[in-house]
Amino acid sequence: MRSQGQIRFIKISSRLQMGVAAVVLTGSLFWLGSLGAMAIAQYQSSTEMASLLDREATVAKSEDRLDAYRDDLDATMADLAKRQDVLDQLASDLPEDLLTKSADDTVSDSSEEAARLISLVGESFPEAVGLAQLEARQLAFVERLTRFADRRSRRAEEALRTLGLDPAAILAQDRVATGGPLELVSTESDGSLDPRFERLGLSIARMSALERGLDGVPQVMPAAAGSISSGFGLRRDPFKGSAAMHSGLDFRAPYGSPIHAAAEGEVTFVGFKGGYGRTVEVSHGSGMVTRYAHMSRSAAQVGQKVDAGAVIGAIGSSGRSTGPHLHFEVRINGRAVNPRPFLETAPHVLEEARSSHSLIAGEPDGATAGG
């Protein structure tokens, strides 16, 4: 270090060098791990988002980071190690096309500032170049992962709107159901959280909430598609003969035929419900519930998690019924809506959305999308 004509040398012990190498090696191994412990949150308001973007714009510049390296190398190493711990929680392998920003991309790009920092460190503190390079790799990964989550969120929003659902309402209801954002651990030695890491947590939480909303959309016929005997809306009441509102779809099928869950969710009711007879209800989150009535028997328990297509009962004629059939309803915030658009449209929309997600995630063309 040159200062007022004097030259002094700073030596880094072999133990410290081995520690730096261990941090780099650990990051390389865990970046290919599965996405763990997602922060369950979403953007609370446009004001909060604007504030976060402003904070991102004032993230420490290269000269400030250089001063940190000079003042306390051990503290800087501790900062980077804590950042790596956060990455270990959130990381998964990412596609190469996320290296570049798109026109609608609001994610920060720290690559130029990171390169400048590496150059400054190399000139005045060459022993710390490895640390500067590690920090640059971490920030690049954080920004790529944020970009990945934002793109998946946009595709999920498009799919939900196609199905006639409001993404904003789903995000709001998900926030109430999950109890607010999960606090990420700090990434700095002073207990603070780098705004780029905070933005990553919010983006992943938003993506997760929207994709949970997609998974809860009715997408599997609860009985044979060709057996629909009565549609949604006004019809002639089979008992009274007068006009009456029919709040679901009727599927006529032989007694004992299987009934399938229309989407993944949690069983919230099993038992007799007035004229519905033996009934099972499944909650899919975001205020959406499916109801399966007139069963001969149920094959589910309250609190049970079910996948789309799982058998939850058998067709019968219990309750106010003229013969063996399934009465199927979709309710959003307690209001019955027509199930047919979901059952007929959702499979195609969701297949396209999941295919897009697979391509974003770097899967080869023709790979089978999960879910």
pLDDT in tens, 139-191: 888 888 888 888 889 889 998 898 888 898 888 877 756 554 445 556 666 66
Q: How many CA atoms lie within 13 A of 293 on its CB side?
A: 21
pLDDT at 225 over 60: yes
- 282/305 Cα distance (integer angstroms): 9
Neighbours of 299 (CB within 10 A): 16
Ordered structural domains, the chain, with CATH: 2-215 (no CATH), 225-351 (2.70.70.10)
Instruction: Read off the pTM.
Output: 0.63
- 368/52 Cα distance (integer angstroms): 37
For residues 30 and 353, which has the higher predicted lDDT (pLDDT)?
A: 353
Q: What is the pLDDT of residue 15?
A: 58
Average pLDDT over residues 295-319: 95
Say if residue 264 is exposed, middle or buried (CB neighbours under 10 Å; 0-12, 13-18, 19+): buried
- For residues 75-95, one letter each, b for 16 or more C-beta atoms within 10 angstroms of the residue's C-beta and e for the rest, the string is ebbebbbbbbebbbbbbeebe
pLDDT at 38 over 70: no
pLDDT in tens, 199-210: 888 888 888 889
**Residue 366 identity:** G
Q: Enumerate the β-bridge partners of residue 281.
A: 269, 291
Under DSSP, is residue 205 helix (H, G, I), strand (E, B) or coil?
A: helix
Average pLDDT over residues 264-279: 95
pLDDT band at 29 (very low <50, low <70, confident <90, very high): very low
